[in-house]
Amino acid sequence: MCLKGFEPVSPDQWSNTEWSQGCRHTVPLDCDPGEGFNKYTNLKLPDSQGSIYNQTMTLEECRNMCKSNCSCTAYANSNISGTGSGCLLWFGGLIDIRTFAENGDTLYIRMSASQLDSIETSNRSGAWRRVRVIVPIAFVVLAILVSVCIFYRYNRKKQQPQVTPRNELRHDPENRSGDEDLELPLFGLSTLHRATNNFSTNNKLGEGGFGPVYKGVLEDGQEIAVKRLAKTSTQGLHEFKNEVILISKLQHRNLVKLLGCCIEEAEKMLIYEYMSNKGLDSFIFDKTQSVLLDWNARYSIIIRIARGLLYLHQDSRLRIIHRDLKVSNILLDTDMNPKISDFGMARIFGGNQIEANTNKVVGTYGYMAPEYAGEGLFSIKSDVYSFGVIVLEIVCGVKNKGYIHKEDYNNLIGHAWRLHNEDQSLQLVAKCLGESMNVSQVLRSIHVGLLCVQRYPEDRPTMTSTIRMLENEGPLPSPKEPGFYVGKSKHDTPFSSSYETSSNNELSISMLNGR
């Protein structure tokens, strides 16, 4: 179906489930000063080809910029982390919009004044009708729920069994290996208080969605890292159990080692080996620290991350998709050996399972594959995409997310793609590498990185093929266009501070229902 305020371009074809011509405004745009924008929520944003990205604009500035140009048909806040900055503007047709039941993005589409009035009137009348129906029902349902909860809590207190720490993990519904012994040491809460100096702020290493992480020293002198579940984090509880169950069964030199856990009183903690050099991001994105990683060190890190990922996908007793692979989740030990960490978002795949989907997309934008970010589909090829982004970031020394090239408006992936096609890939290399650079290895790493970030998962290599291509000197296939390739189209016109007449005022929308 078309969005509110739109109608099929060809009703006859639409009734025959032929949607290729899309939808159009019920009232065409004519560059009238009264035109405005209607807010649509829970959408997949349109294809970004032909859009323009500005990293620093607020949402209000984004709206004003779009309204001042008659060719601008829609805008959105591009910063999905919620800090309020970043602007995407579309010009012409909006292609491949999809609706989701929840967790979608917000898009503001240009409308005529009469359309906006009609939509507002319809929304007000519909809301009032819903209120008159819902309020009486809500009171009845609330009364029933309160009664049931009181009865349930009263009976549960009388019958609640004793739960031990191991049983709490073993009988977790998310634990697919629930009948197996976890064989994981349990640390006492008092031991961890002593090790971390009562969780002193001086011992704090950082904080993520799970909760804070502290450095500790056990009585025998062993250094540890303690991830402490934030008491207010309900999502963190699931991640905690997921991480215990998964990592307790994994052993590889390029995966961070889980030493044990603590489940005592209201506390839930994971205890890891301490990684003295912290995260890879603290080196490659820091001007001072980046000089400590020459090309040989970076190339070795790339290869070892690939081997750790291959172990997860193929060689371990479980087949695991990490789903949040990023530079900050790669930790470095004293010998600069990289180890993949943070398995709170990971998922186990069955032996013959190649793909799954989820209604709740988790992970980090900038590293997420297009099919996962847009449709919730994930597979081993989703991790391959994330690995490709990491490779490009290690070579270039800049982050993909937030990067925008001053000349062609490309993100890091798009910029690497353009330079590769122009045989200018060496322009990507971080300046700090200097004479340490092995040109052949650098070019091969960039090429393989671009193969890993191709738009469609079936085009991306497996980690077995990726390692083979990185370590050998044979010919490489040509990469296809990458996913999330954001650039300035040659057909784009510059912004104008005044209204301009445009002959392209018919807005075409192709829309599919989300999974």
Distance between CA atoms of residues 497 and 67, nearest Å:
9
The confidence score (pLDDT) of residue 471 equals 93
The structural domains of the chain, ordered by start, are: 6-111+494-513 (no CATH), 167-273 (3.30.200.20), 281-471 (1.10.510.10)
Region label for 300, one of left (φ > 0), alpha (ψ between -120 and 50) or beta (otherwise): alpha
Of residues 281, 308, 310, 284, the one with CA closest to residue 295: 284
Distance between CA atoms of residues 506 and 493, nearest Å:
17
Q: Where would I find the H helices in 220-266? A: 234-247
pLDDT tens digits, one per residue of 43-52 = 888 887 778 8
Q: Where would I find the H helices in 50-92? A: 59-67
The confidence score (pLDDT) of residue 118 equals 83
Of residues 279, 287, 277, 309, the one with CA closest to residue 398: 287
Distance between CA atoms of residues 370 and 388, nearest Å:
13
Extract the tokens encoding 39.
Answer: 């807010």
The confidence score (pLDDT) of residue 229 equals 82
> Full-prediction pTM beyond 0.75?
no
Question: How many C-beta atoms lie closer than 10 Å to residue 20's C-beta?
Answer: 9
Of residues 219, 210, 168, 165, the one with CA closest to residue 192: 219
The confidence score (pLDDT) of residue 488 equals 46
478 contacts: CB under 8 Å, gap ≥ 6: none
Distance between CA atoms of residues 186 and 201, nearest Å:
24
User: Active site includes 324?
Assistant: yes
- Amino acid identity of residue 148, one-letter, is V
Distances (CA, A) of 328 to 153, 341, 448: 43, 9, 21
Extract the tokens encoding 216.
Answer: 């500790």
Query: Phi and psi (nearest 5°) for 303?
Result: -60, -40
Q: At what angle do helices 439-452 and 412-421 cross, to 10 degrees?
A: 120
The confidence score (pLDDT) of residue 123 equals 73
Distance between CA atoms of residues 126 and 457, nearest Å:
43
- Amino acid identity of residue 349, one-letter, is F
Compute CA 27 distance to the chain's CA centroid, rounded to the nearest angstrom: 37
Distances (CA, A) of 289 to 104, 214, 283, 286, 298: 38, 22, 5, 5, 13
The confidence score (pLDDT) of residue 119 equals 83
Number of H helices, E strands in the chain: 13, 20
Q: Where would I find the H helices in 352-511? A: 370-375, 380-396, 412-421, 439-452, 463-471
Q: Which residue in 47, 96, 324, 342 is the catalytic one?
A: 324
* Mean pLDDT per 10-residue section of the chain, whose length is 515 residues: 86 82 88 90 83 86 91 83 74 85 88 87 71 78 87 68 47 43 78 95 83 92 90 64 76 90 86 92 92 95 97 85 92 95 78 56 83 87 96 94 75 92 93 88 97 96 96 92 62 34 38 39
Question: By three-state DSSP, how is residue 310 classified?
Answer: helix
Q: At what angle do helices 295-310 and 380-396 cross, to 10 degrees?
A: 170
Question: By three-state DSSP, how is residue 245 classified?
Answer: helix
First vs last C-alpha separation in the chain = 15
The confidence score (pLDDT) of residue 505 equals 42
